[in-house]
Amino acid sequence: MSTVPQPLASVLPCPLIDRAGPFDPYRVRADFPVLKQSVCGKPLVYLDNAATAQKPRVVIDTLQRYYACENANIHRGVHHLSQIATDAYEGARTRVRHFLNAAQDREIIFVRGTTEGINLVAQTWGRQQVGEGDEILISAMEHHSNIVPWQILCEEKGAKLCVIPINDRGELMLDEYEKRLNGRTRLVSVAHVSNALGTLNPVREIVDLAHRWGVPVLVDGAQAVPHLKVDVRELDCDFYIFSGHKLYGPTGIGVLYGKADLLASMPPYHGGGNMIKSVTFEKTTYADLPNKFEAGTPPIAGGIGLGAAINYLNQVGLDRAAVYEEDLLSCATEALSRIPGLSIIGTAPRKVSVLSFVIEDIHPHDIGTVLDQEGVAVRAGHHCAQPVMQHFGVPATTRAATAFYNTPEDLDALVRGLHKAIEVFR
């Protein structure tokens, strides 16, 4: 294990790294080529990880090797390359299954990302199961991709979209949740971790309460899987969905996990090649899981790249990284809290990675622009969670979201950049 250099002239209020023990952010950081560059003459500090995470060398190499040496369409070919590509793609499915601790490979459906996964469930399970007067229950902290698909469904079916409120720390109000569960509820669909607030929701409790009413639960895991060990059997959720690109993998690939009996009972989403058993003009019969939901040529390279990302995460050790990330977040929270006029939006005691904030009299976009000039990449806007902004009475926030490759020096750069923004705009 390499020795860990301490940050120089740190403006951070607390020591980092100690508790994470053997986890070495400097060593993992070296695996990410993009982080080695400068922006505006300053070393790049990448804190836009909730939007998308950077890719380790091994993922980039895997994609390169796939296209250079293994490219072929899968499942249907009898030739050598097709078999190699099929094995690699199906091997990635098995890796995802282990990563989520799902019971069977056929419970893992490859999709384009979280957005497509939620739309798939809304348009298949939802269209089959939801009728007039039924209710879909989501929370007030959802990303638009866990709101709009349900609105489309509710409009079509004459069903009602109900919302679990959040409190001023940005926590889901469990007592209000319980009150909203009833005989008309058909589905609960909630984020595991909020992308706008960082709140970590008590998914197991949410699932247990819904199951008492026989209601299935969909979990949007987009912001959880990069930071937490997720066990779908332990959570007992019915659907769990995430995007590969936030998990250090490629864009264009994501995962829908569903319990096998539920997936088997659902009609297909898209029709076409690969999802059929037989086709005549009179009748088509559908393939078994998971192919029934993977019509057409799938994102083969994306799936294989995601498998490489999961392999990499297994080597890094997500559990150890999570301890380090927890320290990083609490240190950053303390540092930002000391900045005059800065308010953190989302102060739940159980949070992951995300620091959303506003600074009095400075627009979040202006903060983002000054930070960019300092080489610090953050996001400014509503983060596709406009109802969250409405709840907190702000048009937008600046969002810094950490990953395990961020270091104390990155946080120093953020804090210094924020002081600079205050200097410039006040």
Q: Which lies closer to ligand PLP via its Cβ, residue 222 or residue 329?
A: 222
Please report which helix (H) or strand (E) contains residue 387, including its range.
helix 386-392
* Separation between Cα atoms, residue 33 and residue 394, nearest integer Å: 36
Strands 217-220 vs 185-191: parallel, antiparallel or unpaired: parallel
Strands 239-243 vs 217-220: parallel, antiparallel or unpaired: parallel
Residues numbered 67-126 forming contacts with ligand PLP, rule: CB under 6 A: 113-115
Q: Is 52 exposed, middle or buried (0-12, 13-18, 19+ CB in 10 A)?
A: middle
Residues numbered 339-398 forming contacts with ligand PLP, rule: CB under 6 A: none
User: Shortest distance, CB of residue 357 to ligand PLP, whole angstroms?
Assistant: 17
User: Shortest distance, CB of residue 82 to ligand PLP, whole angstroms?
Assistant: 29
* 195 touches ligand PLP (CB under 6 A): yes
Q: Which lies closer to ligand PLP via its Cβ, residue 50 or residue 230?
A: 50
Which of 29, 95, 143, 399 binds ligand PLP (CB under 6 A)? It is 143
Residue pair 62/85 in contact (Cβ under 8 Å)? The answer is no
- Give the residue at shortest CB distance from ligand PLP: 195
Residue pair 120/110 in contact (Cβ under 8 Å)? The answer is no
User: Shortest distance, CB of residue 1 to ligand PLP, whole angstroms?
Assistant: 33
Q: Which lies closer to ligand PLP via its Cβ, residue 243 or residue 402?
A: 243
Residue pair 130/159 in contact (Cβ under 8 Å)? The answer is yes
Catalytic residue among 40, 162, 237, 384: 384
Residue pair 395/351 in contact (Cβ under 8 Å)? The answer is no
Q: Which residues of 261-298 are buried (b: 16+ CB within 10 A; e: fewer)?
A: eebeebebbeeeebbbeeeeeeeeebbebbbbbbbeeb
Q: Which lies closer to ligand PLP via its Cβ, residue 356 or residue 407?
A: 356
Nearest-CA neighbor of 287 among 279, 273, 277?
277
* Separation between Cα atoms, residue 117 and residue 263, nearest integer Å: 12
Output the six-digit token pair for 18: 């100690």
Query: Using CB under 6 A, which of the segments 76-84, 141-149, 372-380, 417-425 binds ligand PLP?
Result: 141-149
Residues numbered 44-63 forming contacts with ligand PLP, rule: CB under 6 A: 50
- Other beta carbons within 10 angstroms of residue 3's beta carbon come to 7
User: Shortest distance, CB of residue 114 to ligand PLP, whole angstroms?
Assistant: 4
Q: Side-chain half-sphere of 52: how many Cα atoms within 13 Å?
A: 13
Nearest-CA neighbor of 378 among 50, 47, 41, 34?
47
* Cα→Cα distances 195→34, 198, 345, Å: 23, 6, 12
Q: Which lies closer to ligand PLP via its Cβ, residue 16 or residue 138?
A: 138
User: Shortest distance, CB of residue 426 to ligand PLP, whole angstroms?
Assistant: 31
Which of 54, 223, 398, 406 binds ligand PLP (CB under 6 A)? It is 223
* Separation between Cα atoms, residue 239 and residue 221, nearest integer Å: 10
Output the six-digit token pair for 412: 């120093």
User: Shortest distance, CB of residue 143 to ligand PLP, whole angstroms?
Assistant: 4
User: Shortest distance, CB of residue 133 to ligand PLP, whole angstroms?
Assistant: 28
User: Shortest distance, CB of residue 223 to ligand PLP, whole angstroms?
Assistant: 5
Query: Using CB under 6 A, which of the segments 219-227, 228-236, 326-334, 354-362 binds ligand PLP?
Result: 219-227
**Total number of residues that touch ligand PLP (CB under 6 A):** 13
Which of 54, 243, 406, 407 binds ligand PLP (CB under 6 A)? It is 243
Query: Using CB under 6 A, which of the segments 73-81, 139-147, 299-307, 317-325 binds ligand PLP?
Result: 139-147
* 191 touches ligand PLP (CB under 6 A): yes
Instruction: Catalogue the E-assigned strands of 231-341.
Output: 239-243, 254-258, 276-279, 284-286
Which of 222, 335, 411, 418 binds ligand PLP (CB under 6 A)? It is 222
Nearest-CA neighbor of 233 among 393, 87, 102, 377?
102
* Separation between Cα atoms, residue 65 and residue 367, nearest integer Å: 40
* 407 touches ligand PLP (CB under 6 A): no
DSSP state of 50: T
Query: Using CB under 6 A, which of the segments 23-31, 128-136, 138-146, 304-312 binds ligand PLP?
Result: 138-146
Q: Is 331 a catalytic residue?
A: no
Binding site for ligand PLP (CB under 6 A): 50, 113-115, 143, 145-146, 191, 195, 220, 222-223, 243
* Residues annotated catalytic, as ranges: 384
